[in-house]
Amino acid sequence: MSRIARARELIGHRLVKNTVALFIVQMSAYVAPLAVLPYLSRVLSTEHYGLIAFATSFNWYFMTLVDYGFNLTATRRAAISQDDPKKLSELFSSVMSAKIVLTIVGFAMMTGIVFATPKLRPNFPLFCISYLLVLGDLLFPLWLFQGLQKMENLLWRDLGGKMLSLCLIFAFVRHDRDYLWAAAFQSSSMVIAGILGMWTVFRLTPARWVTPTRKEVIHVLVEGWPVFLSVAATTLTSSTNIFILGLCSSPSDVAYYSIPFRVVIAIRSLISPAVTAIYPYISRMASKSRDNAILFLRNSAWMVATPFFAGSLILFLAAVPIIHLFGAKYTASIPILRILAFSPALLALQHIYSTFYMLAFGYEREWSRIILRTTILNFMILVPLLMIMWHPAAVAVTSMCLEVFVMVSTYLFYRKTARVMRPTIAA
């Protein structure tokens, strides 16, 4: 077979097509909002931008609650059940019912916390507006299309919602007093994408709504519990640290941290398409042949990690011009970006040894233990640093310490347990 024919076969492979579609969807979720960030950072004051960042970070708790790890557990079941419409419909209905309940519970929790905290109470409308992100996460059926490896069917609907949001921001957010509109337009893009995505489910997949039993709903919640704990613990460290920063510092300090944090998160998000596309693929491979799956992991690991090392190096070397895009008033954010610069590279390595190995091979409990230790370590590092360092720098240093800890822990577990018993040819 010629190289051209092989290239055509590779491009047409379902895994490659799904990865490309996921890449574009992920780009729209993080990079598109990042494109409007220099505009908002100049139009809005550091105080109001910091308030929006604080409210968004706070509502990530409830996005994690509603997601509940379904993007991993339900994705895997959808991949296995894709040829059985009845099982797929039961799974879809059970997961959606569980997410609806979690959305209601999350809103009640958010309302109670905001009203119980005097510093947050005056900004309750902003927190409600930001909660639209959670509603969008409820509606957007990412987990289902990941499992079916049909992400290209969501592509234009997701992009449409994001582009509409950006156009509204440029058209209507002109002054600092428009900060609530800025938050609303950013959050509503997820709702629009979710509505269009849900419409796509019934048009392009065999999944149909069937009334789930209480037992089925409880089953998907129990099944997702170990993954939810690990994901929730990860969110607890990042979102809680920003939450603590907002409580013990000014909104401006939150803004100084949030600008480089958003830049780094945009780069980190680019690994998600590869993760969400390869994860169900390697999960199915591992269920058939553990040895073949390990060999596939070893052969593909460098392709996943290399681009993110390059991206991290660029972030570190170009920190000054990158931050200056957001205005001279954010000069204090330059050292924060340099501290966080190698986070994408460390995350890529983490996914290779955690998601592609520990979760795909059934080591959920061991992964949860690592995340639990990371959560405890977070507060052991953060609290002393807050007493001796500028608060945004303390949060950034803590974040990088945790990244290194998780990467080393997952790699050591992989080295200890990943043994190919006999040489086989990777699929």
Beta-carbon contacts of 182 under 8 Å, excluding residues fewer than 6 positions away, are 40, 43, 44, 52, 169, 173
Are the C-beta atoms of residues 139 and 192 closer than 8 Å to each other? no
Sign of the dihedral defined by the CA atoms of residues 166, 171, 174, 180, in that order:
negative
Q: How many CA atoms lie within 13 A of 176 on its CB side?
A: 9
Beta-carbon contacts of 103 under 8 Å, excluding residues fewer than 6 positions away, are 62, 66, 134, 135, 138
pLDDT for 423: 44
User: What is the spatial distance between Cα 157 and Cα 161, in angstroms, rounded to a whole number?
Assistant: 6
Nearest CA among 45, 54, 27, 130 for reference residue 395? 54
- Kindly give the residue spans of alpha helices, DSSP state H, lying in 44-84: 46-67, 70-80
Give the tokens for residue 354: 């955690």
Instruction: Tell me 119's DSSP state.
Output: T
Tell the residue number behind the tokens 């574009």, with chain if given.
Answer: 24
CA angle 233, 120, 168 (to 5 degrees): 85
φ, ψ for residue 380, nearest 5 deg: -65, -30
Are the C-beta atoms of residues 76 and 230 closer than 8 Å to each other? no
- Kindly give the residue spans of alpha helices, DSSP state H, lying in 117-205: 124-130, 132-139, 142-148, 155-172, 179-204
pLDDT for 11: 42
pLDDT for 366: 84
Task: Please count the residues of the chain.
Answer: 427
pLDDT for 95: 92
pLDDT for 127: 94
Per-residue confidence in pLDDT tens, the chain, 427 aa: 444 444 444 444 555 666 666 666 656 555 666 667 788 888 888 888 888 888 888 888 898 889 887 877 888 788 788 888 888 889 999 999 999 999 999 999 999 999 998 888 999 999 999 999 899 889 888 888 877 777 666 666 677 777 788 888 888 998 888 999 999 988 888 888 888 888 888 888 888 888 888 888 998 888 878 777 766 766 666 777 888 888 888 888 988 998 999 889 888 877 776 776 677 777 777 777 777 777 877 777 777 788 889 999 999 999 999 999 888 889 999 999 999 999 999 988 888 888 788 777 778 778 878 888 888 899 899 999 999 999 999 999 999 999 999 999 988 988 888 765 444 444 4
pLDDT for 339: 95
End-to-end CA distance of the chain: 18
User: What is the spatial distance between Cα 73 and Cα 213, in angstroms, rounded to a whole number?
Assistant: 19
Cα–Cα distance list, 220 to 67, 155, 185, 213 (Å): 12, 27, 33, 11
Tell me which amino acid residue 56 is: T
User: What is the spatial distance between Cα 374 and Cα 191, in angstroms, rounded to a whole number?
Assistant: 33
Q: List, as one string, the DSSP characters of 360-391.
A: TTT-HHHHHHHHHHHHHHHHHHHHHHHHHS-H
User: What is the spatial distance between Cα 72 and Cα 147, in angstroms, rounded to a whole number?
Assistant: 9
Are the C-beta atoms of residues 193 and 136 closer than 8 Å to each other? yes
pLDDT for 8: 46
